[in-house]
Structure 1
């Protein structure tokens, strides 16, 4: 399988948004758009990552869509199983509630909540061992990019998890490249710059795992309908992790259409 034939993923990361009524309206609007302008499952894998207290509610609402739309957890505990860990949700509890996908390594978790390599590795190991598919986020800061360190930083973040990922588990990992300087800023890496980084990530994955050529690599960082078509045309960009634009049903649907139309 070549990178250009990988089924693209489009995942909406709602972050700490929105209130319940708006979330329900957003899903209803998105389901309606899928009914009126269907996106075939074999053309694009779709997912929504709501806040933790809304996971099962959103999961139920998405079940009424005319196709599978996955519910994605925004986080998972570094502690496995069950126990006296107030506020935590383990990988096993997520799977028990029918959640099969989780984001790990987002720059906001790394920077705001000080999640270092050891914490992220514990989360990844627990998630994979519980059978979850991990969307692992990597990306560099503006300072690192301007210092010429972007590729080294991103490839190191991928190498960091190799110690805890078993050989067959790489097939259950999706990489999401999000340049930190483009998240929520309205700035976007040019399609050429994004493709260049994705190609480097692909090359790095091929050196680590035999699944490197079949793994989806998503782009995140102010993805919107206006740039989705150009990004989707890049051979090593296999979808998008969408932030703010996923809070608008029409915008999110248009982005999904852009990537689906590449298949």
Structure 2
């Protein structure tokens, strides 16, 4: 089922970048571009995911933007509430700081930090219970794609979270499909391949929840201004989770324009 009626999301995942002064400059440049070339909030949701220590300062800077630009946490603790957990930031602490969105399940967290289903489900459960919106990342490796397992792997990752998501909470989840082999490599799934996977994800979500037809499914993996228009034209691609290109204000703005122009 087509998701063309869904308002797209464009979210910049800054990862472990940049230093504070450059982050402030990046936000300032993006705000200026939004003033000069408006992107209607009704046509595209916008968000940026800075490092944890910059969440507050970036959010404060974005308060004076001409339109809403949400601040997104890159991670959340699997531990709920408060307590003696050195280095952790709980969902409740994010919510207390007016951070309403969080990434969970990014391949870098799964692979580098060995976050398994149990850890990811605890994070999702805590985030949803605290009232956060979860951007849940799924994707297959090159080996899995070449062996014909891509759809099976991605759909299993969707099914993995069903055990901890209550019926009404599905409306607070955004899916981000990121083929692992396309993250930071310069490689991108063709629009046809990306659309095919997004349609399969849509089919799987519709079997899990009545919200499936309305859920946003974003594409990530070397999204750039050069490929954004083609990706945005695909009916089941409802936005982008942008990596490296989001560290350039002009590139990020162009990508957002591409998705806004589909509405």
TM-score range with shorter-chain normalisation? over 0.9
What is the CA-CA distance between 1:248 and the residue it aligns to? Answer: 0.1
CA contact (8 A) 2:2 2:236 kept: no
Partner of 1:96: 96
CA contact (8 A) 1:184 1:243 kept: yes
Which blocks of at least 5 consecutive residues in structure 2 are unaligned? none
Partner of 1:57: 57
Partner of 1:232: 232
Number of equivalences: 263
The separation in 1 between residues aligned to 2:42 and 2:219, in whole angstroms, is: 20
Q: Report the secondary structure of 2:47's partner residue.
A: strand
CA contact (8 A) 1:2 1:214 kept: no
Matches within 5 A, 1:1-263: 3-263=3-263
Q: Report Cα offsets for 1:43-101 as digits up to 9, x if no partner.
A: 00000000000000000011110000000000000000000000000000000000000
Q: Report the secondary structure of 2:72's partner residue.
A: strand
What is the Cα-based RMSD across aligned positions, in Å?
0.7
What is the CA-CA distance between 1:2 and the residue it aligns to? Answer: 5.1
Q: Report the secondary structure of 1:4's partner residue.
A: coil
Structure 1 runs, 4 residues or longer, greater than 4 Å off: none
Normalised by the size of structure 1, how large is the TM-score? 0.99
Which blocks of at least 5 consecutive residues in structure 1 are unaligned? none
CA contact (8 A) 2:2 2:235 kept: no
The separation in 1 between residues aligned to 2:139 and 2:120, in whole angstroms, is: 14
CA contact (8 A) 2:72 2:103 kept: yes
Q: Report Cα offsets for 1:142-191 as digits up to 9, x if no partner.
A: 00000000000000000000000000000000000000000000000000
CA contact (8 A) 1:27 1:249 kept: yes
Q: Report Cα offsets for 1:194-224 as digits up to 9, x if no partner.
A: 0000000000000000000000000000000
Q: Report Cα offsets for 1:2-26 as digits up to 9, x if no partner.
A: 5101000000000000001100000
CA contact (8 A) 1:138 1:178 kept: yes
Normalised by the size of structure 2, how large is the TM-score? 0.99
The separation in 2 between residues aligned to 1:16 and 1:141, in whole angstroms, is: 22
The separation in 1 between residues aligned to 2:81 and 2:171, in whole angstroms, is: 23
